[in-house]
A and B are shown apart, each in its own frame.
Chain A
């Protein structure tokens, strides 16, 4: 049966929301791992029954869970994320050297082809990989060991590796993004990395056009056109047409170009979604109106999508991993808020309805399209 499975990570557990292709009636299961923060959970593109979840708590640290039956049951797998060798230091908020310390897994990115292979982006920033279904994790150390590493500084939320993009046309190409170091690319399956931040400008760093140091919030790619990347930066919405070699701004007529998530329509590579918020200090929508903005021109020209969304007194935020699209014929768009609502659109964003309205703070939303 055609349908969707929406995987929601929250500050107090994970929820699995399922519906048929109509996406009008929903079954809600959860909380899974109740009481724990679930920064992210995601399904394998190669096996939709294989899910991975990052579970953590201030008391007991990191746990990784795996499901082999679409979220019905879970088993804890390995949670040892040990940096390779002596990890050295990065800059602390006050500019002093600070030892690399593992805090949590922010993002899990399953392989496009192998259900047992999954990448983990962690805080303090590093990339790990498991090739045995999460039973053992190894760091791909070259990213952390990049010559610029000692100069990286944490963003307000910590020095997290939050974005991992796997190029479907080239299994050796990986993109990663770190707050607040910027975007990096590997063309050799993670053996070496280089910054790909040319064209970004950030007023909050000493050299606004520096090679590293930019607070990239999220990068998105359409699988049919992996050289085109869309980025939501601390401020500015950006686009690259050459796999990150250069970036240009596409904020255009957005009401504000600050925000966290960005995503691309499943069937229209030039249709892009962002959810602007007012500013770096005011993490809520301008004018108290929750509006998703959609560009059908690959940026610069944006339209506000408001039907079904609160248009007064709304002061929620949408975090970087909390926007996703499905790939049904009439593509669905989903996002979750810091006040616990998960909204769905079954018509590419033209209209919206809440699936659930009172979850804990939503940290991530992913969607699986089930055929």
Chain B
């Protein structure tokens, strides 16, 4: 079970309160988590990653276990504690954008 924390503007868009719990088949990666998140909440497509290129939007950041995962490969395994659900996967609106 992966625990995903969305920024407040995306929680409102997806109409969720609190964390989102997701299951990923196999070794969880950022790409798999985001694929699952967007499959469950289609309104989030394009708001975290560009729909055409799949790249992270410039002012969105990904954190886990007090590490900035934003620049890691989307296919790298998630930190063990995030994959185990003891730590959340944080999707953060960067301190920019107004």
Q: Which A residues are closer than 8 A to B by beta carbons? A: 34-36, 57-63, 76, 79-80, 82
Number of A-B contacts (CB under 8 A): 51
| Contact B97–A57 (Cβ < 8 Å) | yes
A58 with B98: CB separation less than 8 A: yes
**B7-20 vs A, Cβ < 8 Å mask (1 yes, 0 no):** 10110110000000
Known contacts A36-B9, A58-B97, A59-B93, then 14 further A-B pairs from the complex at CB < 8 Å, ordered by chain A residue: A57-B97, A58-B59, A59-B57, A59-B60, A59-B94, A60-B9, A60-B46, A63-B43, A63-B46, A63-B47, A76-B42, A76-B43, A79-B51, A82-B52
Residues of A within 8 A of B31 (CB): none
Residues of A within 8 Å of B51, CB to CB, are 79-80, 82
**Across the two chains, which residue of chain A brings its CB closest to B93?**
A59
- Cα distance, A106 to B10, chains bound together (Å): 21
Q: Please name 16 pairs of A and B residues whose Cβ atoms are closer than 8 Å in the assembled complex, sorted by A.
A: A35-B12, A58-B98, A59-B9, A59-B59, A59-B60, A59-B94, A60-B10, A60-B46, A60-B57, A60-B60, A61-B47, A62-B46, A76-B13, A76-B43, A79-B51, A80-B52
Q: Mark B48-60, 1 if CB is under 8 A from A, else 0.
A: 1011100001011
Q: How far is the CB of B31 from chain A (nearest CB, A)?
A: 18
A interface, by DSSP: helix, strand, loop or mixed? Answer: loop
Q: Which residue of A59, A60, A80 has the most chain B CB atoms within 10 A of its CB atom?
A: A59
Bound Cα distance from A163 to B51, whole angstroms = 26
Write out the residue numbers on chain A whose beta carbons fall within 8 Å of the beta carbon of B10.
60
> Are B7 and A80 in contact, CB atoms less than 8 angstroms apart?
no
- Give 9 nearest A-B pairs by CB, closest first: A58-B97, A76-B43, A60-B47, A59-B93, A59-B97, A59-B59, A80-B51, A79-B46, A82-B52
Task: Return the chain A residue nearest B41 by Cβ.
Answer: A76
Give the CA-CA distance A82 to B45 in the complex, in Å: 13
Listed residue (A57, A80, A82) with the most chain B CB atoms within 10 angstroms of its CB: A57
